Structure 1
């Protein structure tokens, strides 16, 4: 499986958010807990990201 690190995670390589694609789902994990994986359809991930951004703006 090919995990891709978020560009927002920085160059350190620690405590990163990573994403992978296994049709029809996207997989999301934190590098410090690689066995804990969230699997969701692309629309579900888009909704999660919108929710997190909205909470940060509060």
Structure 2
């Protein structure tokens, strides 16, 4: 990962506190982290992230939620 990585906070994150999901690009990779655990980074591709987000929006993972 580049030393000068600029992370972008999700617009759904709460204020400036520790509940922030952050994302950045590194070449052809997308890096995702939780702001209160910055050393734990999920690495994926733009296509896989796009497919995941479309699945979330379509409710494909709703069965994992305990209601």
TM-score by length of 2: 0.71
Q: Mark the structure with the bigger radius of gyration.
A: 2
Greater per-residue helix proportion: 1
Moved over 2 A (4+): 50-53, 55-58
Paired residues, number:
58
Unmatched 5+ stretches in structure 2: none
Larger RCO, structures 1/2 (Cα 8 Å, 6+ apart):
1
Greater per-residue strand proportion: 1
Q: CA RMSD in A?
A: 2.0
TM-score by length of 1: 0.80
